[in-house]
Amino acid sequence: MEATFNTLTDDQRLETLNNVYRKGLSTPKEQLAFSADKLVYLKPFINKLQAATAGTQDLRSRVMARQIIDELLRDILDEVSATSSPEKGAIEYGLQLLTLPEEDFYYTNKVA
């Protein structure tokens, strides 16, 4: 399953991180569908992304934060998908925004 991170806004990334973080905190470590070590990384990136959306970071810092967050989310999505059905796991962990089909950039029209 290919995730479409390039179309996510910072608000959507923040929402997804918050969903995964809340689910991770409320799930016992043994039942977590992704590595508990990754849970430690989520909170700092939530704060970093909140600062980026507030405009307190320069563009280079925001781009770097997005790349790291996207990689972290991709790893979590892969782990969740490996332990359960991809659709069920994505919904359960709040990752459904990452599994939406990518929209075509170009459209074709049939000409008579």
Q: What are the helix (H) ranges across 27-104?
A: 36-53, 59-83, 86-92
pTM of the model: 0.74
By the 8 A CB rule, do 69 and 45 touch?
Answer: yes
Q: Which of 46, 34, 20, 12 is nearest to 78 (CA)?
A: 34
CB atoms within 10 A of CB 93: 25
The model's pLDDT over 42-92, given as tens digits with 9 standing for 90+, comes to 888 888 778 777 776 677 877 887 888 888 889 998 998 888 776 788 888
Quote the pLDDT of residue 25: 92
- pLDDT the model gives residue 40: 86
pLDDT band at 101 (very low <50, low <70, confident <90, very high): low
Alpha-carbon distance values, 74 to 3, 70, 90 (Å): 7, 6, 11
Going from the C-alpha of 5 to that of each of 23, 34, 77, the distances in angstroms are 20, 19, 12
pLDDT digits (tens, 9 = 90+) for 4-46: 466 788 888 888 999 999 999 999 988 999 888 888 888 888 8
Q: Tell me 57's DSSP state.
A: S
